[in-house]
Structure 1
Amino acid sequence: MASNGAGLLNVAIIGAGPAGYYAAEALTGGDGNVHVDIIDRLPTPFGLIRAGVAPDHQSIKNVSRRYEATNSRENVRFVGNLALGRDITLAELRELYDAVVLATGAGKDRPLGIEGEDLSGVIGSAAFVGWYNAHPDYKDLNPDLRVASVAVIGNGNVAVDVARVLAKTASEMTSSDLAAHAASTIHGSPIRDIYILGRRGPLEASFTPKELGELNQLENCVALVKPEQLPDRAADESLTGAAKKNMATLRAIAANSPDAKPVRLHLQFYRRPMAIMGETCVCGIRLEETKVEDGKCVGTGMTEVLPVGLVVPCIGYRTSPIRDVPYSERYGCFENEGGRILDRLYCVGWARRGPTGTIGTNKPDGLEVANKILSEVKASGREGRDGLDRIVRERDLHIVTFQSWKKIEASEEAGAQAGAPRKKLVDVAEMVRIAES
């Protein structure tokens, strides 16, 4: 790829997750005259690979090796511990760089929009997953897991991840990088019933076969589903792909005995949350039975109250708005046309399209936006990283480069218990101290 115009094209990418790294890879793959700074407010790169992927899914995290290869290019730099709004403004970055790409992800939970969701004991999946994944923002969340039962709302992989992490024993998590503070709380919890609640039926669920299958292989927890919530077996013949595999797993789960193991994980379909019960903290959740008609989820009027002490909604995420950047409240992302927001301002990943797709979906997305930048933006002689370094010095900011991040990584790996890949640090100040040592 060649940049349009003579000279050095300077691009800043805000967000060091998969979307940001795929965009950087595409921008710098064929032209040394493109320099990219990947800026993140945390001292650690890789975004949701580090803080979103389940701690017991280590193989998925291996994609970070690809991002490391991108970072090894001389024209790519990671700039950690530099926060938009706190340390530098978007307007300043747009003055310094020829193009700015927002790859900020979607870190805010979509609200349930029902009575009681502000009660103590209702914790959105962004916070809950961040807590057990050692995200610095949620290290002090301290959820009260001294409860007998939990409701996990949603029928996607995030809901399955949350339920599985709560259900697994300490021995099952030995090879994970579950946060130390979360491990002690989860493994000391008296939870005996976990409910995964979906508004629609099993054929509409969005979890993948691998994740669903893991629920039927837990050491101390038996997965359960009511046979009457599954379609007639005759319908199985017409199923293909993931739906066919999921139905086979659900049929196997339906044959399980609730007394087989001490903890029970209930997959309940056709249940819509109507209200969360309690005075100050959660004591139950009111559900309406639903049915699917003409592709739409409709209520039947039949309700029940499920006694639970914790509710974790896993119903989607929203990108955090940025001042002076057009934002779509409907889709929870920045308003854009094919990744272009304004002149020289772009977005990729969930910030562009909302929280959809897998990690790999960000690759073609990043390539498309990179090609758009390379064809639309001319090198203008802007300061780029030299200007950013000047501001860092003037404001006495403590940035973390990829080389200094490796010190943090080495410290985490050295602190790991036998079998674990790392013991994640959660204090930003400590990470910066190690990076600067």
Structure 2
Amino acid sequence: MNLRRICVLRCKSLLNSKYLRTSQIVGVRKLTSPSGSSPKVCIVGGGPAGFYTAQHLLKSRLDIQVDLFERLPVPFGLVRFGVAPDHPEVKNVINTFTQTALHERCNFFGNVGVGKDVSVAELRQAYHAVVLSYGAEGNRRLGIPGEDLRGVYSAKDFVGWYNGLPGNKELRPDLSSETAVVLGQGNVALDVARILLSPLDILKKTDITQPSLEALAESQVQRVLIVGRRGPLQVACTIKELREMVNLPGTMPDMVTTDFEGVASVLKDLSRPRKRLTELLLKAAQGAASRQAGASRQWGFHFLRSPLEILPADDLTSTAGIRLAVNVLEGSHEGARAVPTGEVEELKCGMVISSIGYRSLCIDPAVPFDHHKAIIPNTVGRVQTGAGLYCSGWVKRGPTGVIATTMNDSFDTARSLLQDIEAGVIDVYSVKPGSRAVLSSLDSRGVKWVSFSDWEKIDKEEVRRGQRVGRPREKILDVAEMLRVAHS
């Protein structure tokens, strides 16, 4: 019996079932709705979480329609605005997201602020399901005196500045001091330190923005201290990021060797990833082998310190230093807890960058929101407000993990949604207008939404501008200019 005959018989045997399963012969379980009904899903947020959720939905059902709404005129979220410009390989995921956006059952609508231009309630009326995947646009506050002084910045805003996020284009960080302090010891903190200390010849080959490049060319920063409340065994960065710092041309590590007392003796008890990271950290701290000849700039981890106060200069408006609490650890390894000793320490610096995490915001009062945890309360992505509302990504679980973490998390949410369709929790028999109704409302409100083909015009123009100066792209920083290019 040939393969075609097998498929015909299998399909006939399933005609009376509620859902028609196809493509099982290749190991993929795809579903379609009965009677020509087509589930319509709206995803709020055009970053990794949104695109990964869309990707899984489109691959799992042959009939589902997915619309992505993004606040900015351009897609890809933190892949565009968060990934360091000298990490182009991480941005290759944009190719996958583009294929999703170009899928015949997917639409992208940029420059649409959900909660401002259209409400979540209106989206729920227009779609069978709504997935909130809009990430974390807010900053976590330090909660200490002086954090509003000039010279104090959040890592989110600083990263947005050099990556071309329109809301941060006017940041103009003060780079006139010799020493900068970064609070936090994760990958973002190391990204910030590396950009501050990188030779211009490296940055000129990236898609860093031209205003940032010009400002960094005039920077007086020669030393970056990366401060954390715990010790070397608890440092939160990955070995890749640490290796980049160790090998950064023109720089050398400068750390307090006493911070590493006893660390070598516990290496054998560490997990392999933590052991490799700690070994590299020890090597950087100990020796001359990692110190580059002619290095003029320094960086170093400053352990067992917690910020108490940003110290003002004589003008009382700018930063002159930072006061830190000196800690000891209670417990061991990654579970150790930092406890203040009562001793304090002051460092002179003209710039403080807080890299203690991003924070999701509530975009619509109709959506439940845990303001303490800064997430939407959910069960495997299901928001407890009745059927049809979901969340994925950072707004679901908090701002943790890498892009692969977000991918798996988004797939989980997509599976929850698909299970609810199959179980009849979501009524796909009801007729929903989808984007037709939403776009009509947006047009009546004067919202100039951007399609994916409109984004491709922006993309083409940015690449053209970059080629003129020998760089991969020159990002457009102004939303009005983005819209002009998109609608030209």
SS at match of 2:31: coil
Question: Which structure has the larger Rg over C-alpha atoms?
Answer: 2
Q: Deviations over 1:82-118 (max 9, x none)?
A: 1113321112111111111110101211111111112
Partner of 2:354: 313
Aligned-CA RMSD value: 1.6
The reply to whether residue 263 of structure 1 matches residue 297 of structure 2 is yes
The reply to whether residue 235 of structure 1 matches residue 277 of structure 2 is no
The reply to whether residue 244 of structure 1 matches residue 275 of structure 2 is yes
**Match of residue 272, structure 1, among 300, 306, 312:** 306
Under a length normalisation based on structure 2, what TM-score does the superposition of the two structures give? 0.87
**Match of residue 402, structure 2, among 344, 358, 380:** 358
| Aligned-residue identity in percent | 37
1:258 Cα offset (Å): 9.6
SS at match of 1:67: helix
**Match of residue 332, structure 1, among 352, 366, 374:** 374
Over 3 Å counting, the alpha-carbon distance change for 1:369 and 1:156 in structure 2 is same
State the alpha-carbon separation in 1 of the partners of residues 134 and 330 from structure 2. 37
Partner of 2:284: 253
State the alpha-carbon separation in 1 of the partners of residues 196 and 347 from structure 2. 18
Partner of 2:43: 13
Bigger relative contact order (CA 8 A; separation at least 6): 1
Would you say the 8 A contact 1:4–1:378 is kept in 2? no
Over 3 Å counting, the alpha-carbon distance change for 1:5 and 1:206 in structure 2 is farther
Tell me the number of residue pairs that the alignment of Structure 1 and Structure 2 aligns.
437
1:55 Cα offset (Å): 0.8
SS at match of 2:237: coil
The reply to whether residue 424 of structure 1 matches residue 468 of structure 2 is no
State the alpha-carbon separation in 2 of the partners of residues 313 and 10 from structure 1. 41
Under a length normalisation based on structure 1, what TM-score does the superposition of the two structures give? 0.96
- Mapping of residues 148-187 of structure 1, within 5 Å: 148-187=178-217
**Which segments of 5 or more consecutive residues in structure 2 lack a partner in the other structure?**
1-29, 421-425
SS at match of 1:333: coil
Q: Deviations over 1:308-339 (max 9, x none)?
A: 11111000111011222211123211111221
Partner of 2:427: 378
Name the amino acid aligned to 2:319.
V
State the alpha-carbon separation in 2 of the partners of residues 45 and 3 from structure 1. 28
Higher helix fraction (1 or 2): 2
Name the amino acid aligned to 2:462.
E
Q: Deviations over 1:135-161 (max 9, x none)?
A: 001111111111111110001001000
**Match of residue 325, structure 2, among 278, 288, 301:** 288
State the alpha-carbon separation in 2 of the partners of residues 184 and 222 from structure 1. 24
State the alpha-carbon separation in 2 of the partners of residues 391 and 22 from structure 1. 27
Name the amino acid aligned to 1:284.
G
State the alpha-carbon separation in 2 of the partners of residues 400 and 61 from structure 1. 22
The reply to whether residue 392 of structure 1 matches residue 442 of structure 2 is yes
Would you say the 8 A contact 2:118–2:442 is kept in 1? no
SS at match of 1:36: strand
Q: Deviations over 1:393-413 (max 9, x none)?
A: 322321111111111111111
Bigger mean CA deviation after superposition, 190-199 or 410-419? 410-419
Would you say the 8 A contact 1:4–1:375 is kept in 2? no
Would you say the 8 A contact 2:183–2:352 is kept in 1? yes
SS at match of 1:305: strand
Would you say the 8 A contact 2:305–2:325 is kept in 1? yes
Name the amino acid aligned to 2:342.
G
Over 3 Å counting, the alpha-carbon distance change for 1:259 and 1:115 in structure 2 is farther
Would you say the 8 A contact 1:319–1:350 is kept in 2? yes
Q: Deviations over 1:188-233 (max 9, x none)?
A: 1111111100100111111000001111112222122222111432
1:392 Cα offset (Å): 2.9
State the alpha-carbon separation in 2 of the partners of residues 19 and 92 from structure 1. 22
The reply to whether residue 211 of structure 1 matches residue 252 of structure 2 is no
SS at match of 1:393: helix
Bigger mean CA deviation after superposition, 287-296 or 311-320? 287-296
**Match of residue 406, structure 1, among 437, 451, 456:** 456
**Which segments of 5 or more consecutive residues in structure 1 lack a partner in the other structure?**
none
1:354 Cα offset (Å): 0.3
State the alpha-carbon separation in 1 of the partners of residues 442 and 144 from structure 2. 45
Would you say the 8 A contact 2:46–2:77 is kept in 1? yes
Bigger mean CA deviation after superposition, 336-345 or 228-237? 228-237
Would you say the 8 A contact 1:225–1:250 is kept in 2? no
The reply to whether residue 126 of structure 1 matches residue 156 of structure 2 is yes
State the alpha-carbon separation in 2 of the partners of residues 261 and 271 from structure 1. 27
